[in-house]
C-alpha cells in the first residue's frame, strides 16, 4: 500500500512500525473476520458482499454449488487475490489485505489445495521438513541442521497422518489419498492457527474418507479448520457449523440440520442433491 | 534421497564428503589429475604413453567446460531454470581474466605502449577507459572474475524473478541477454577489442603462458577449481536450501505458500551459478590464449545445455561426464571430418534422448538400482518370469 494511504489511516500504526511477529489476537473470539468483501473480475462479481466469521478452534464447513466463490474466498484469505473492496482480518490485529502470500503463511494460515500438490521428487520426510515452521530466509535455510527435536516433530506428524512406514519413499509414489494426508501433514508442520482445506476427499475411497474425517475432527480445537467440500455425506459426518455460499455471498449459516431444512438452500443446492440421494 | 536424517547434522559445507557419489567423483578426478601429471612429467616423450603439452592443455580446457556444465546443472537440474545464456557469464569471467592478461603484457606489445593494449593504440585512444583500471592487479582482476558475472546475474535475476518470469520465457530472455552482449562486445567502442577480442597474452602472475610447466599448472588449478565448485554445489543441493530449490522446480506456487520467498532462493542459486560460470571462463581463457565475442554466441550457450542433458540432469557428476564426453567427441570429429561434427552432435543428442532419457548418469543409477534389487531379492528375476508366464 502507498505511504500516503498508510499515513492517512488513523486506526493503525504505520506498517514499518508494526511489530513483525506480533501474536494473533483472538481475545474477542473470532480468528478470521471477512467483512463486506467484494471481488470483481471484469465486472463479474466472484465474491459479492461476503461476510464471514470463523471462531478460534472451530471446524467450519463451507458448501455451495460450482462458481459460488469458495476457491476465490480462499485465494483472498491467503493473499493470492486482492479484493476490490472490503476488509479481512486475522484475529483482531492483522489486516491480511496488507500482506503478501509468504507473510500470511508465516503468520499461521495454512492452505491445502484442491489438487494435492506435494513435492514428488522429495521424500515424505523431506516434504514435511520443508513445510515446518522455521526461519525461511536464505542463509538460515542453507545452514539448517536436522536436530533431534525437529525429527521428533516430523515423526509425530508422520504418526498422525499414518505415513510412518513410507517416510523415506519419494512422495511421487504415494496414492491419491496418501498425498492428501501428506498435504494435511505439511500444513500441520507449519503449526497453523487456521487451516484452509479445499475438497479434501475428492477422489477418495470410503475408507480413506473415514480416515480423513477422523484426522480433521481430531485437529479442530487445537486449530481452526475451514473445509470446503462438495461431498454432502462427508460434510454431514464432520460438520458442526456449515456455511452455504451462493453467487459470492452467504446464503445460510447454521448446523447441518438447520441449513439443510432452509428452503433457500434446498432451492439452489441441497434439493437436487438430496433427491438424488433419496 | 534419504540422506536427510543420517548425515545432515554436521556442518553444511562438509556434508558432501559423507556422500558416496562425491567421494567417488573426487577420487576419480584426483586420480585423473595425478595420472595426467605423471604421464606428462615422468614418462619420456618418445614413450607412447607420454601425454604431450598440447593434450594437457586440451584436458584443461575440458575441465573448465566441465565446471561450466556443473554451474548450468545447478540452476537447470535443481532449480528448474533452463538458462540458455550461461555462456554470457562464462565469457564475462573470461574477459575479466583477459583484461588482466592484457595489462600483464605491458610495453612488450607490437606498439610498445607502456599502458595501453595494442588494440587501443591501433584505435588511436590516448588513455585507458575507466573500467580497465585496476586490472593490472591480480587480486582485483581475480575478484572481478567472480563479481562481474555475479553482479550481472544479480541485476538480471532480480528483475526476472521478481516479475515471476520462469519457464520458456526466462529461457528466451537469457538467450536474448547473451545475444545482446555478443552484439555489444563486437563493437570497438565498447573497449574490449571488438571482434578480435583480447589475445597475445604472455604471462599470468609471472609465469610464462607458453611454457609447458604453466600449462600443466593451469590444468591442475582448473581441476582443483572443478573439485571445489563441485563440492560447493553438492553442499548447496544437499542442504535444506537444495530441497527448497527442488521444491521450487517442481511446484513453485506451492513452495511460496509454505512461506519461502521463492524469488530470493532463485536469485541466490542463479548468482552462485553465474559466479562459477565466470570462474570457468577465467580458467578457460589463459589455456586457449584468446577471448572474443563468439563465446557470447547463443549457439554456445545451447551447446552447454546439451552437455548437461547428455550427461544427465540434476546429478552434477553427469554434467561433468557430459561436458568431457561431448567435447572429446568434438575434438576428434572436427579433426577427422569437420563437416560431420554438427550431425554427430545431433545424432548423439537424439540417441541419448531415445535410449537414455536421463543421460549417462541415469544409466549408472539404473545399473546400481538393478544390482541392489537383485542382491536384496535374489529370486526377483524368477518371480517376474513366473508373473509374465
Which of A265-269, B60-64, B69-73, B255-259 comes out lowest in average pLDDT? A265-269
pLDDT value at residue A166: 94
ipTM above 0.90 for this complex: no
- The domain limits of chain A are 25-277
pLDDT value at residue A22: 58
pLDDT value at residue B366: 87
CA-CA-CA-CA torsion sign (A234, A238, A239, A243): negative
- For residue B260, what is the nearest residue in chain A, using CA coordinates? A136
Q: What DSSP letter does each residue of B29-85 carry, written as one string?
A: HHHHHHHHHHHHHTS-TTSTTPPPHHHHHHHHHHHHHHHHHHHHHHHHHTT----S-
pLDDT digits (tens, 9 = 90+) for B61-119: 999 999 999 999 999 999 999 999 999 999 999 999 999 999 999 888 889 898 899 99
Note if the pTM is more than 0.95. Answer: no
Q: Which residues pair with B207 in a beta bridge?
A: B204
pLDDT classification of A267: cutoffs 50, 70, 90: confident
Q: Is the pLDDT of residue A7 over 60?
A: no
pLDDT value at residue A15: 53
Distance from CA of A184 to the nearest CA of B (A): 12
Q: Within 13 Å of residue B236, how many CA atoms lie on the same side as its CB? A: 28
CA dist., res. A165 & res. B303, Å (int): 44
Say whether A168 and B240 touch across the interface (CB within 8 A): no
pLDDT value at residue B378: 55
pLDDT classification of A11: cutoffs 50, 70, 90: low
pLDDT digits (tens, 9 = 90+) for A110-145: 888 777 889 999 999 999 999 988 888 999 999 988
Query: What is chain B's alpha carbon radius of gyration, rounded to the nearest angstrom?
Result: 23
User: For residue A106, which residues of chain B lie inside 8 Å, CB to CB?
Assistant: 259
| Chains A & B: contacts with CB separation below 8 Å | 99
Q: Quick one: average pLDDT of B188-192?
A: 92
Q: Which of A113, A121, A151 sits opposite B5 (nearest CB)?
A: A151
Say whether A130 and B254 touch across the interface (CB within 8 A): no
Burial state string for B175-187 with b = 16 or more CB within 10 A and e = fewer than 16: bebbbebbeebbe
Q: Quick one: average pLDDT of B49-69?
A: 95
pLDDT classification of A202: cutoffs 50, 70, 90: confident
CATH code for the part of the protein at A25-277? 3.40.50.300
Q: Is the pLDDT of residue B3 over 80?
A: no
pLDDT value at residue A9: 57
pLDDT value at residue A93: 83
User: For residue B245, which residues of chain A lie inside 8 Å, CB to CB?
Assistant: none
Distance from CA of B178 to the nearest CA of A (A): 28
Say whether B265 and A122 touch across the interface (CB within 8 A): no
Q: Are strands A59-63 and A241-246 parallel, antiparallel or unpaired?
A: parallel
pLDDT digits (tens, 9 = 90+) for B38-47: 999 999 988 8
CA-CA-CA-CA torsion sign (B34, B37, B43, B45): positive
Residues 201-260 of B with CB under 8 A from A: 236, 239-241, 243-244, 246-247, 249-251, 253-260
Chain A contacts to B (CB-CB under 8 A): 78, 101-102, 105-106, 111, 113, 117-123, 125-126, 129-131, 133, 136-138, 141-147, 151, 168, 170, 186, 190
- C-alpha cell, B162: 521478481
Q: What is the dihedral of CA B220, B226, B228, B233, to 10 degrees?
A: 180
Amino acid at each position: 500500500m502507498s505511504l500516503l494511504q498508510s499515513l492517512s489511516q488513523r486506526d493503525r500504526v504505520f506498517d514499518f512500525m508494526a511489530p513483525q511477529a506480533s501474536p494473533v489476537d483472538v481475545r474477542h473470539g473470532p480468528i478470521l473476520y471477512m467483512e463486506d468483501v467484494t471481488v470483481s473480475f471484469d465486472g463479474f462479481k466472484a465474491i459479492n458482499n461476503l461476510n464471514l466469521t470463523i471462531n478460534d478452534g472451530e471446524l467450519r464447513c463451507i458448501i455451495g454449488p460450482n462458481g459460488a466463490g469458495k476457491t476465490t474466498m480462499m485465494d483472498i484469505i491467503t493473499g493470492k487475490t486482492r479484493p476490490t473492496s472490503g476488509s479481512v482480518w486475522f484475529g483482531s490485529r492483522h489486516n491480511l489485505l496488507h500482506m503478501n502470500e509468504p507473510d500470511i503463511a508465516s503468520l499461521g494460515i495454512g492452505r491445502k489445495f484442491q489438487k494435492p500438490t506435494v513435492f514428488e521428487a522429495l521424500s515424505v520426510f523431506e516434504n514435511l521438513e520443508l513445510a515446518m515452521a522455521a526461519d525461511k530466509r536464505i542463509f538460515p535455510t542453507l545452514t539448517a541442521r536436522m536436530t533431534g527435536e525437529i525429527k521428533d516433530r516430523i515423526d509425530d506428524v508422520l504418526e498422525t497422518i499414518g505415513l510412518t512406514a513410507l517416510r523415506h519413499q519419494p512422495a511421487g509414489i504415494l496414492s491419491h489419498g496418501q498425498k492428501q494426508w501428506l498435504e494435511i501433514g505439511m500444513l500441520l508442520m507449519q503449526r497453523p492457527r487456521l487451516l484452509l482445506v479445499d475438497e479434501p476427499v475428492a477422489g477418495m475411497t470410503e475408507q480413506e474418507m473415514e480416515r480423513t474425517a477422523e484426522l480433521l475432527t481430531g485437529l479442530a480445537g487445537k486449530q481452526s479448520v475451514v473445509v470446503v467440500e462438495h461431498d454432502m455425506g462427508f460434510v454431514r459426518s464432520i460438520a458442526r457449523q456449515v456455511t452455504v455460499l451462493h453467487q459470492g455471498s452467504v446464503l445460510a449459516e447454521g448446523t447441518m440440520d438447520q441449513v439443510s431444512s432452509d428452503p433457500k438452500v434446498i432451492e439452489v443446492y441441497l434439493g437436487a442433491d438430496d433427491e438424488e440421494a433419496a | 534421497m534419504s540422506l536427510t536424517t543420517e548425515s545432515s547434522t554436521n556442518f553444511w559445507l562438509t556434508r558432501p564428503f559423507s556422500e558416496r557419489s562425491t567421494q567417488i567423483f573426487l577420487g576419480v578426478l584426483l586420480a585423473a589429475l595425478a595420472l595426467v601429471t605423471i604421464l606428462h612429467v615422468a614418462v619420456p616423450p618418445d614413450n607412447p604413453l607420454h601425454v604431450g603439452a598440447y593434450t594437457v592443455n586440451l584436458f584443461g580446457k575440458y575441465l573448465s567446460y566441465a565446471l561450466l556444465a556443473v554451474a548450468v546443472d545447478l540452476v537447470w537440474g535443481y532449480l528448474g531454470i533452463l538458462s540458455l545464456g550461461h555462456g554470457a557469464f562464462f565469457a564475462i569471467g573470461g574477459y575479466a581474466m583477459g583484461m588482466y592478461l592484457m595489462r600483464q603484457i605491458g610495453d612488450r606489445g607490437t606498439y610498445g605502449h607502456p599502458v595501453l593494449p595494442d588494440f587501443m593504440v591501433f584505435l588511436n585512444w590516448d588513455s585507458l577507459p575507466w573500467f580497465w583500471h585496476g586490472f593490472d592487479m591480480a587480486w582485483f582482476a581475480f575478484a572481478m572474475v567472480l563479481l562481474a558475472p555475479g553482479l550481472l546475474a544479480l541485476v538480471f535475476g532480480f528483475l526476472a524473478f521478481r516479475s515471476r518470469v520462469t519457464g520458456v520465457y526466462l529461457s528466451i530472455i537469457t538467450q536474448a541477454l547473451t545475444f545482446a552482449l555478443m552484439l555489444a562486445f563486437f563493437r570497438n567502442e565498447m573497449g574490449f577489442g571488438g571482434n578480435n577480442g583480447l589475445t597475445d597474452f604472455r604471462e599470468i602472475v609471472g609465469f610464462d603462458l607458453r611454457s609447458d610447466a604453466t600449462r600443466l599448472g593451469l590444468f591442475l588449478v582448473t581441476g582443483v577449481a572443478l573439485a571445489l565448485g563441485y563440492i560447493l554445489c553438492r553442499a548447496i543441493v544437499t542442504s535444506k536450501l537444495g530441497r527448497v530449490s527442488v521444491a521450487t522446480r517442481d511446484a513453485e506456487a506451492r513452495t511460496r505458500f509454505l512461506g519461502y520467498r521463492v524469488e530470493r532462493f532463485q536469485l541466490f542459486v542463479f548468482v552462485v551459478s553465474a559466479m562459477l560460470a565466470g570462474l570457468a571462463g577465467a580458467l578457460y581463457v589463459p589455456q586457449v590464449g584468446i577471448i572474443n565475442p563468439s563465446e557470447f554466441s547463443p549457439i554456445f550457450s545451447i551447446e552447454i545445455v546439451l552437455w548437461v542433458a547428455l550427461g544427465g540432469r540434476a546429478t552434477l557428476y553427469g554434467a561433468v561426464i557430459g561436458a568431457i564426453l561431448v567435447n572429446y567427441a568434438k575434438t576428434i570429429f572436427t579433426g577427422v571430418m569437420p563437416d560431420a561434427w554438427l550431425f554427430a552432435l545431433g545424432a548423439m543428442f537424439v540417441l541419448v534422448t531415445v535410449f537414455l532419457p536421463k543421460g549417462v548418469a541415469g544409466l549408472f543409477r539404473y545399473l546400481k538400482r538393478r544390482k541392489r534389487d537383485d542382491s536384496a531379492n535374489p529370486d526377483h528375476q524368477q518371480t517376474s518370469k513366473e508373473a509374465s508366464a
